[in-house]
Amino acid sequence: MTAGLRVVPVPGLPEVRPGDDLAGMVAAACEAAIGLRDGDVVVVTQKVVSKAEGRLVDIDPEIGHRPIVEAESVRILRRRGDLIIAETEHGFVCANAGVDLSNVEAGQAALLPEDPDRSARRIRDALTHRFGVEVAVIVSDTFGRPWRRGVTDVAIGVAGLRPVIDLRGTADAFGRELQVTEVAVADELAAAAELVMGKSTGIAVAVLRGVDPAWLGDGSVVDDLVRRPDEDLFR
């Protein structure tokens, strides 16, 4: 039987609070669930990263979360009713500029990490130090998209992973150069992880084992995966 890829949920992460050693908590939970090996990809949801980094703000009950969303936005692309589609300082385009009201205490909102690539690096460094293995780390978040209903998880930060794999110059099965040249594997890995995490189960970590080793290496979501405004037809 072909080995393929395994996507393993990691339960057992305690409730995360500002200042907690998230990397240590992730390490302990991974150790209990599956252990870690060279080449594993560990996906951690933005929510617990934001909590550990203290990216929580109180919502003024008089005015709601709207001013928080506007403060997190560098550009507002669309508004409809309560929904704002905005670009963040990182260059992400998403609903409410990534400000999140689910899975936080009532009266609070979670902001995106200031630098999600750095958040991923911190977790990766701790995992490498603790286990002596070379793993990749993805910080994932849940974004909507135009034209298609429903949300999917995407990568907002990576460490030890090239988020976009460039196939330019690769031949297809007919020897013709491939038309599709760049595959956003970090987003596909985040999406695969979401399939075992769910939104209401409280599982915030998953491990992917069996990933193509060619994808491991240096990378950054902000530098490699965010489309620059001048390349973008929809901004």
Q: Which of residues 49-68 bind a copy of itself (CB under 8 A)?
A: none
Burial pattern 31-49, b for ≥16 Cβ within 10 A else e, equals eebbebeebbbbbbbbbbb
Among the listed residues 39, 113, 116, 163, the single contact to a copy of itself using CB under 8 A: 163
Among 153, 158, 161, 216, binds a copy of itself (CB under 8 A): 153
Rule CB under 8 A: say whether 129 interacts with a copy of itself: no
Q: How far apart are CA 193 and CA 153, in angstroms?
A: 8
Query: Among residues 48 and 127, whose Cβ is nearest to a copy of itself?
Result: 48
Binding status of residue 89 toward a copy of itself by CB under 8 A: no
Buried b (16+ CB within 10 A) or exposed e, 97-113: bbbbeeebeeeebbbbb
**How many C-alpha atoms does 26 have within 13 Å on its Cβ side?**
32
Identify the residue among 102, 133, 213, 218 touching a copy of itself (CB under 8 A).
102
168 binds a copy of itself (CB under 8 A): no
Shortest distance in whole angstroms from residue 224 CB to a copy of itself: 7
Q: Which amino acid is at 63?
A: I
The site for a copy of itself, by CB under 8 A, has a size of 80
CA 43 to chain centre: 7
User: Which span sits near a copy of itself by CB under 8 A: 111-119, 122-130, 131-139, 206-214?
Assistant: 206-214
